[in-house]
A and B are shown apart, each in its own frame.
Chain A
């Protein structure tokens, strides 16, 4: 898994790390039980403050995406949300609303937007399948 930071995106650096690890987990680039890079080497590699990575990992842990095993490191958990369904839906709705607003400003009409959503979901599924093949998980 390669994390790439973009200081020009205007997005807080720790959130970029959080989102990329979440994306890697969703695409299968990172598998449940797999170990994440340790904080210090990752911080040095990305040329960021150690605290930034620590904050990202703490956030991922509170979201239930990863777990820390003392003395062993951080591991990706099986996807399971600790949050109630309606809260999970509400979180997703916020993100969707933002994307809809963005689509409006970029003058992307509704049907085209929905088509894009389907395309992106298919792309993610394909990526997942290719990782599963690599891992030898499919029969």
Chain B
């Protein structure tokens, strides 16, 4: 079987604003059909990376490919195959929701009106309302509808849930992603950047943690949860002073020993077992905890 062309491929991507490097030697591959997360703090280089895919910025070094194409040389072909929701959405304030969607649809080769109707109903958006009268959450909903309806092969979402209240966030991101993926199961690719990682726990297949423009960690979500573990042991006597090779953190306090490992959880548990703990437990870290632990060694 031949390897399908990656939806996104970055090789040593480097971009600097003046002398400040925002992204440095970033390598990343997103396979078709995946939901890929770019995690990072503010200023980690997430938005810059996305802008290089859209030809809004041209990398100074390295290359970016979307479905094997160069966003600079094949701008139209690339943009035909992707939809983008920026971190700040803006519409013409004098247009209604209906007019806005029609206007955006006019740039597209196809537009799924069934999905549009379904999502407008689910979000209880009034199509006659002027976009200037929408709340921030509603504006994001309109932008997401506009990104899903053209049924592109790639959806690029830059911080889609930031600045929204938790109730709105909770319900709509999976609705949008569900509607998008349903159209061509297994083939539609999503690249989403966020620092609100808990929202995306179950949606992400694979992720890269960015810090200071560099990739710190790239893993599949399931593999990450299997590897990163929090182990807690309590002894009848003061906790032994042990050395753990893959420990990110070791915290001894009286009879208790807490550690976070990035691999080798089983071995650590076995080592602890030999010291006859009174109690011993291990659980996986959530993606958000992995993020925090990786960035705060």
Contacts and interface: CB of A to CB of B under 8 A. Distances in A.
Interface of A: 5, 7-14, 39-40, 43-44, 46-52, 54, 105
Nearest to B201: A7
Contact of B174 (A7, A10, A14, A43): A43
B178 A54 contact: no
A49 B229 contact: no
Contact of B203 (A8, A39, A49, A54): A49
B222 A8 contact: no
Nearest to B182: A40
Contacts of A10: 225-226, 229, 265, 282-284
A9 B284 contact: yes
A68 to B, nearest CB: 12
B202 A5 contact: yes
Nearest to A5: B202
Query: How big is chain B's contact interface, by range?
Result: 20 to 34
B112 to A, nearest CB: 15
B88 interface: no
B181 interface: yes
B202 A46 contact: yes
Contact of A49 (B204, B270, B284, B287): B204
Q: What is the interface of chain A mostly: helix, strand, loop, or mixed?
A: helix
Given A8-B284, A10-B284, A105-B270, A50 B178 contact: yes
B225 A7 contact: yes
Given A10-B283, A105-B269, A44 B202 contact: no
B178 A43 contact: yes
Interface string B60-91: 00000000000000000000000000000000
A48 B175 CA distance: 10
B218 interface: no
20 contacts: A7-B202, A7-B225, A7-B286, A8-B225, A9-B283, A9-B284, A13-B202, A13-B222, A39-B185, A43-B174, A47-B201, A48-B174, A49-B177, A49-B202, A50-B185, A51-B34, A51-B35, A51-B185, A54-B186, A105-B273
B25 interface: no
A54 B282 CA distance: 29
Nearest to A42: B178
Contacts of B178: 40, 43-44, 50
A52 B200 CA distance: 13
A119 B255 CA distance: 35
A7 to B, nearest CB: 6
B177 A50 contact: yes
A14 B225 CA distance: 13
B212 interface: no
Given A10-B226, A105-B273, A51 B181 contact: yes
